[in-house]
Amino acid sequence: MNGTLIDAIKWWATERRDELAIVTSHDRVTYGELGTWADAACDWLIGLGLQAGDRVSIYATNSLEWCVMSQAVMRAGGLLAPVNPRFTLSEASHVVGRYEPRFIFHDRDRTEHAVAIGETAPGIGILPLDEISRFRHATPSGRPRDPAIGPDTPVVIIGTSGSTGYPKGVVYSHRTMLGGFADLALAAARAVEHPRVMVFGPLCTSAGYYVLTEMLVYGGTAYFEDSFDPAKALRRVETDRITILMGVPVFFERMVACESFASTDLSSIRMLQSGGARVSRQLLEAWMQRGLVFQQMYGQTEAGGCATINPVADAVKFPEKCGRGMPLTRIATIDADGNFCPPGVPGEIVIKGPAVMVGYWCDPEATAQVLVDGWLRTGDLGVLDENGLLTMLDRIKDIIISGGMNISAAEVERVISEFPGVDEVAVIAAKDERFGETPMAAIYAPGGIEIPALIAHCCKHLSDYKVVRYVAVRDEPLPRLAAGKISKPELRKQYADAHLTLPKVR
């Protein structure tokens, strides 16, 4: 593959010049307008002194300006290094210190933090993101593209979800991104034909930036909102004939809970894709009643976000499974010695495919630990059946070892989530004098629950050693990471002393 993302997106600027490329709640831009705006902004960045390989950070929430800046940086040969807009000053400073960007472009709400970072690193240019608006109707210079920009040129550094402390920076190149997009196009040709997708994820994550770029390469339209509102999302689906909905289950649960869900016209949707958490039977049935089937996916930022999607036929029969890989991507499991596991035997999920990252930014040691013999070691526990279909069981680090017995937090969560009144649940390890650690459940139950009845329910469906010994019932939702997943690191902090502050329930 000798082309670049720039080549593909510029091609659509001619072929679909007057068709919509990006739509937000306040604005919209066609492919032709996006092309000239991004080229003019690229000229501006080069005039400011941006050189090939320089990092450019965007510290802002989703916006049209964010999208255009990402295109301008790419065309200038820079390396986009976005910063999560939800980060505190300390977190943002840590990430910026690792990326060492030439510029930070910020929105109004992050001005104070951006200026503070600039004061500690005087070499960084601190500029408002809305400066790019000045070039919306400017005429580009028409200069030829830098010949040094090729398939293996790094495009972006995407932070991991942060489930293991400070996020690592995952580097994608033109080749890895185009390879991933080609893989999905082969696996789901109908879904990616002139697609219209709602982007729920922050642009600083693979669920945001990767999906945006994917849609632009396909010649589709990416729709953004300032924040997720289920009623607005349903209206957007009906009004703009959205063809792809993808996200973590909580987004779809909130849409189902809307009064307008039953009457919304969903006939335009070709793909309903979910990942990052288990899809409940109730949620599956709610969407199936509207004629749509959830396709469970599995992936991680290091693999382009999505490495496998359950085909529709298998999604009907085996909704909890995640498919057998993609046409160009292989999925397997290995044991502790690195040997491939036979069907039915759990092991660490490994991935080999075109979308696998180049590596972690400035971290060769961590890269070498996860990229081994051409396979990405995910750190997730899974099992393949006799047909090669993957079931993701748990993150290996989320295995609770109690008295020498391994307990899957996901398994316990599945059982608790089926108890009436439980809206959200996360199971983590609590300290235990006898067993070392023991399961503890943090539960969001707005109407309250009877804990003795919950424990009886767990005892009915789980082995004794898997049943939680501590329960914290909350009247507010569980904390979440930027990508929408429940933040277990935050819960571990909040309940670090659960063995001292919570009564044992059994």
pLDDT tens per residue across span 137-167: 999 998 887 778 999 999 999 988 654 456 6
What is the per-residue pLDDT for 163? 47
pTM: 0.86
For CA atoms 289, 293, 298, 301, the dihedral sign is: negative
Both tokens assigned to 65: 């300006």
Contact 264, 319 (CB under 8 A): no
CA dihedral 150, 154, 156, 157 (to 10 degrees): 170
Both tokens assigned to 31: 């492919």
Question: Using a CB cutoff of 8 Å and minimum separation of 24, what contacts does 85-91 make?
Answer: 85/59, 85/60, 85/61, 85/109, 85/110, 85/202, 85/204, 86/202, 86/482, 89/113, 89/116, 89/117, 91/166
pLDDT one-digit tens code per residue, 173-225: 999 999 999 999 999 998 999 999 999 888 998 989 999 999 999 999 999 98
What is the per-residue pLDDT for 478? 96
Residue 405 pLDDT grade (very low, low, confident, very high; cuts 50, 70, 90)? confident
* Residue predicted with more confidence, 146 or 376: 376
What is the per-residue pLDDT for 161? 60
- Tell me the C-alpha distance between 63 and 41, whole Å: 16
Which stretch of 345-349, 401-405, 470-474 has the lowest confidence by average pLDDT? 401-405
241: left (phi over 0), alpha (psi -120 to 50) or beta: left
Contact 449, 419 (CB under 8 A): yes
Which stretch of 185-199, 229-243, 405-419 has the lowest confidence by average pLDDT? 405-419
Both tokens assigned to 425: 């649940």
Residue 336 pLDDT grade (very low, low, confident, very high; cuts 50, 70, 90)? confident
pLDDT at 489 over 90: no
H, E, C per residue of 337-349:
CCCECCCCCCEEE
Tell me what percent of the residues of the chain surpass a pLDDT of 90. 76
Q: What is the mean pLDDT of the chain?
A: 93
Mean pLDDT within 404-426: 88
Mean pLDDT within 230-251: 94
Correct CATH for 403-501 of 3.40.50.300, 3.30.300.30, 3.20.20.70, 2.40.30.160: 3.30.300.30
pLDDT at 483 over 80: no
* Residue predicted with more confidence, 493 or 91: 493
Residue 88 pLDDT grade (very low, low, confident, very high; cuts 50, 70, 90)? confident
Domain residue spans of the chain: 403-501
Instruction: Report the first-to-last Cα separation within the chain, whole angstroms.
Output: 59
